C-alpha cells in the first residue's frame, strides 16, 4: 500500500516517485526547525517594519534585505541595530539583537544573496560589526538583558517529594504517565515538547538481564541527520537500573500501551491519554496525548506536587545535566546523555546545588579575626586548667592531659 511518505515507486520500480519543485520545497520545509523558521520570519518582519518607519521619516529609500549590497549592510544594518526596538519601545537585549542579525542573514541566504556579515574574519563588513558590538556593549552597560530567565531543575528533595505524594508511582494511569515522562527527560536528556511528541514505542527496549532500558534516539533539535551531520549518529543510551521500582513502572506502562496498539512494530505514539476508571484499573486511551497537554506536562507534575519554582518541560533536561554535574560526572559523559554538541552548550544547563553554593560562600568569607581566635584559645585553656588545678593560662604547669585513642 502506497503512503504519502513512501519512498517506493507505485509502479514497483527501484526508484521513487518522480518529484517536482513543490515536492522538494515541501521536504525542505518539513525537515526545517520550526524554531529557526519562526526566528527568521520574526527577524524579517522586524526589519521590514523598521525599514518602512525610517523611510516614512526621512524619505530615503532602503532596499529590501534580500537585495542588499555589501555597502548596504555597513550603512543600513548599522543604523538598524542602533534604532531597533521592541513593540513596547524597550531596547532589545544584546543577544536578541545578535539573533535578529543572524535571522536576517538566513533570509539573505535563502534568497541567494548570502553575505556572512557576522564573520569576524571578513574585513568587508567590519564597520557593521563594530556598530553591532558597540551597541551590545552599551546595552550591557545599561543592564539590559543581564537577567536571564531559565527553567528550574528538579532537585533530589523535590523528586523525593513527588514520590512521597504519589505524583510519581504506579498507583494510577496518570501517575504512570507522569513517571515515565519525567524519567524520559532525566535518564535520556530529552528537551521540551518537540522531542517528546514524536516518540514511538519502538524507540524503547527493556531487558531483564541486566535490568535495563535502552533508548534509540532519532532526529531532534541538536541532531537533524543532514549533510553537515553525516559523521554524527543519533544517540543510543542504555540505562541500567540499580532499583527495580522504576524498571517495573516502565514495563507496566509499555505493556498497557501495547495492549491498545494496532501496529505490531510499535510505530505508534509513546504517550497516551490516561483514562479515569472507577474500578481503579489503569487504562489508557488509543488517542495520543495532545500537544497542548504534552507541552505543559512538567508544569502539571510540579503543581500537583506543590513544588514552587519556574518549572517547564525544559526542566527535565536541566535536571539531567544538573544532577550529573553535582555528582562530579565529566562533561563529556553529560553531553552523551543530553545530546549537546559543545561544552559551552551543556554548561548552560548545569546548576550548583544549595550545599555547593553555601560551601563556596563560606570559603570566600572574610577570615576570622585574630582577637576572636585568641579569645577562644584562652577560654579553652582556662577550662582545661581549672579541671587540672593549674594556676596560669599562658603556661601548662602542673597540668594533667589525657590522651584517648
Per-residue pLDDT of 293-320, as tens digits, reads 998 999 999 999 999 988 988 888 888 8
pLDDT: is 33 or 52 the higher one? 52
- The answer to whether 115 and 73 have CB atoms below 8 angstroms apart is yes
Whether residue 105 lies inside any domain: the answer is: yes
Q: Is the pLDDT of residue 225 over 60?
A: no
For position 83, what pLDDT does the model report?
96
Tell me which of 190-194, 197-201, 223-227, 361-365 is least confident.
Answer: 223-227
Residues 92 and 237 in one domain: no
Residues 58 and 123 in one domain: yes
> What is the phi/psi pair of residue 269, to 5°?
-55, 140
- The answer to whether 284 and 173 have CB atoms below 8 angstroms apart is yes
For position 256, what pLDDT does the model report?
94
Grid cell listed for 160? 523525593
What is the pTM (predicted TM-score) of this model? 0.66
Angle formed by the axes of helices 314-326 and 297-304, to 10°?
A: 70
> What is the phi/psi pair of residue 324, to 5°?
-65, -40
Grid cell listed for 358? 553555601
Whether residue 42 lies inside any domain: the answer is: yes
For position 56, what pLDDT does the model report?
96
Its domain, for residue 321, covers: 156-352
349, HSE (Cβ side, Cα atoms, 13 Å): 29
| pLDDT per residue as tens digits for the range 360-396 | 677 677 876 655 555 555 565 565 555 555 554 445 5
Residues 273 and 232 in one domain: yes
- Of 305, 328, 352, the one marking the end of a domain is 352
| pLDDT per residue as tens digits for the range 326-348 | 888 888 787 777 776 677 766 76
Residues 126 and 167 in one domain: no
Whether residue 76 lies inside any domain: the answer is: yes
Q: What is the CATH number of the domain that holds 276?
A: 1.10.443.10
pLDDT-based confidence at residue 2 (cuts at 50, 70, 90): very low
- Of 352, 368, 387, the one marking the end of a domain is 352
Whether residue 287 lies inside any domain: the answer is: yes
Structural domain count of the chain: 2
Amino acid at each position: 500500500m502506497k503512503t504519502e511518505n513512501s519512498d517506493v515507486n507505485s509502479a514497483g520500480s527501484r526508484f521513487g516517485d518522480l518529484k517536482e519543485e513543490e515536492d522538494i520545497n515541501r521536504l525542505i520545509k518539513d525537515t526545517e526547525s520550526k524554531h529557526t523558521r519562526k526566528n527568521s520570519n520574526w527577524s524579517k518582519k522586524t526589519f521590514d517594519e523598521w525599514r518602512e518607519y525610517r523611510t516614512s521619516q526621512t524619505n530615503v529609500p532602503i532596499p529590501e534585505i534580500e537585495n542588499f549590497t555589501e555597502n548596504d549592510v555597513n550603512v543600513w544594518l548599522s543604523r538598524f541595530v542602533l534604532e531597533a526596538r521592541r513593540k513596547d519601545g524597550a531596547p532589545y537585549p544584546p543577544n536578541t539583537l545578535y539573533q535578529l542579525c543572524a535571522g536576517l542573514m538566513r533570509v539573505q541566504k535563502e534568497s541567494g544573496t548570502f553575505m556572512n556579515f557576522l564573520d569576524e574574519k571578513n574585513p568587508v563588513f567590519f564597520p557593521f560589526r563594530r556598530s553591532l558590538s558597540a551597541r551590545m556593549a552599551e546595552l550591557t552597560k545599561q543592564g539590559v538583558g543581564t537577567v536571564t530567565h531559565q527553567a528550574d531543575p528538579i532537585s533530589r528533595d523535590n523528586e523525593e517529594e513527588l514520590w512521597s505524594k504519589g505524583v510519581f508511582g504506579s498507583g494510577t494511569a496518570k501517575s504512570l504517565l507522569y513517571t515515565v515522562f519525567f524519567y524520559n527527560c532525566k535518564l535520556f536528556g530529552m528537551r521540551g515538547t518537540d522531542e517528546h511528541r514524536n516518540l514511538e514505542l519502538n524507540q524503547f527496549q527493556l531487558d531483564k538481564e541486566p535490568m535495563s532500558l535502552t533508548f534509540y534516539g532519532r532526529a531532534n533539535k541538536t541532531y537533524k541527520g543532514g549533510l553537515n551531520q553525516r559523521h554524527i549518529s543519533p544517540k543510543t543510551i542504555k540505562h541500567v537500573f540499580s532499583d527495580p521500582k522504576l524498571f517495573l513502572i516502565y514495563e507496566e506502562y509499555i505493556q498497557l500501551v501495547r495492549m491498545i496498539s494496532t501496529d505490531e512494530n510499535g510505530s505508534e505514539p509513546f504517550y497516551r491519554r490516561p483514562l479515569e476508571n472507577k474500578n481503579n484499573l489503569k487504562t489508557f486511551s488509543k488517542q495520543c496525548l495532545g500537544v497542548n497537554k504534552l507541552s505543559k506536562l512538567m508544569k502539571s507534575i510540579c503543581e500537583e506536587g506543590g513544588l514552587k519554582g519556574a518549572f517547564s518541560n525544559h526542566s527535565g533536561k536541566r535536571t539531567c545535566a544538573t544532577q550529573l554535574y553535582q555528582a562530579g560526572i565529566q562533561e563529556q559523559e553529560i553531553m552523551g546523555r543530553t545530546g549537546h554538541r559543545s561544552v559551552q552548550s551543556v554548561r548552560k544547563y548545569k546548576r550548583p546545588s544549595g550545599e555547593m553554593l553555601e560551601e563556596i560562600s563560606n570559603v570566600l568569607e572574610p577570615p576570622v579575626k585574630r582577637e576572636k581566635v585568641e579569645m577562644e584559645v584562652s577560654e579553652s585553656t582556662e577550662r582545661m586548667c581549672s579541671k587540672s588545678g593549674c594556676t596560669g593560662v599562658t603556661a601548662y604547669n602542673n597540668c594533667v592531659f589525657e590522651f584517648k585513642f
